[in-house]
Amino acid sequence: MDWRLIPEERIGGPTAMALDEVAAEAVAEGGPATVRLYRWTPSTVSLGYGNDADIVDWRYCAEHAIDVTRRQTGGGAIYHDGFGDVAYSIVAPASEFPGDVTECYRQLLKPVFEAFEAVGTEVGFADAESGTLWGPLCYLLGLDPAHDLVGPDGRKIAGNAQYRTSEAIVQHGSLTFESDPAAHLGPFVDPPVSTAEFADRVCGLTDITAGTLDRSTFVDRLTDALAGWADAERGSWSDSERERAEELVAEKYGHDRWVRSRTDPTG
């Protein structure tokens, strides 16, 4: 199986989700599997597939230049900070990985754990489920030992999600470099959770390392870990893939029919 690595790129939320779908289409057509990193630019709210769009404070997002899109994956909504969030995707043939979801997460998260270890941080799977603080938000849902990662004090530091097509598996995740509770809660309508309660549930790498780690170093370690795990060659998107992503942004991931109403105009 051939893999390509696409180093961290600054892209808008709708484009980020469109490129996951493009990479899955490439796999289905016999093209390379993909590992990639991206930086949400501008900061973005991604709704989970089943989220009600009414939880978004649309005026706040417009005033603060925050994009809003909807993921193909389930789970709760996430505010992806342009600096504080480090995002990755792994897109590969579904036949190459276990059908059991938990075991599949275990395999695909190996390079993520390697990256955390490389910067000297103790991160592991949540060892038990926990209570939900506010159901609409991913980071305030109860911890799931299958795919939620926590720091040494048990606070959530990363969320991961998967979806499958008949030929491909897509896993993407948000790793918190720096947590900003007020910024995370701001884009949502009347969250019944204080910033202190959010901070008690969520941490970032800057909390664990007392601010001694810079973002670029962590991104470099994650890039190395993903490339080594997949034995991937550094690559890029083809012109046709970028064109296809632009189509998907216009027709789906940036369109109100999908974002607000969960109606897929391409399906």
Which string of DSSP letters, residue by residue, matches 72-140?
Answer: SS-S-BEEE-TTTEEEEEEEEEGGGS-SSHHHHHHHHTHHHHHHHHHTT---EE-SS----S-TTBGGG
User: What's the rounded Cα separation, in Å, for the pair 102 and 124?
Assistant: 14
Tell me what pLDDT residue 159 has: 94
- According to the model, what pLDDT value does residue 213 have? 97
Helices (H), the chain: 13-28, 58-63, 101-108, 110-118, 181-185, 195-201, 205-208, 215-230, 239-248, 256-259
Q: Please give the pLDDT value at position 170.
A: 98
* Domain annotation for the chain: domains and CATH numbers: 3-259 (3.30.930.10)
Opening angle at CA 250, ends 246 and 251, nearest 5: 115
Cα separation of the two ends of the chain: 29
pLDDT at 130: 79
68: left (phi over 0), alpha (psi -120 to 50) or beta: beta
pLDDT by position in tens, the chain (length 267): 899 999 999 999 999 999 999 999 999 999 999 999 999 999 999 999 999 999 999 999 999 999 999 999 999 999 999 999 999 999 999 999 999 999 999 999 999 999 999 999 999 999 877 789 999 999 999 999 999 999 999 999 999 999 999 999 999 999 999 999 999 999 999 999 999 999 999 999 999 999 899 999 999 999 999 999 999 999 999 999 999 999 999 999 999 999 999 999 877
Report the alpha-carbon distance of residue 20 to residue 161 in Å, rounded. 12
Sequence-distant (6+) residues with CB within 8 A of 76 are 48, 51, 135, 136, 137, 138, 139, 140, 141
pTM: 0.96
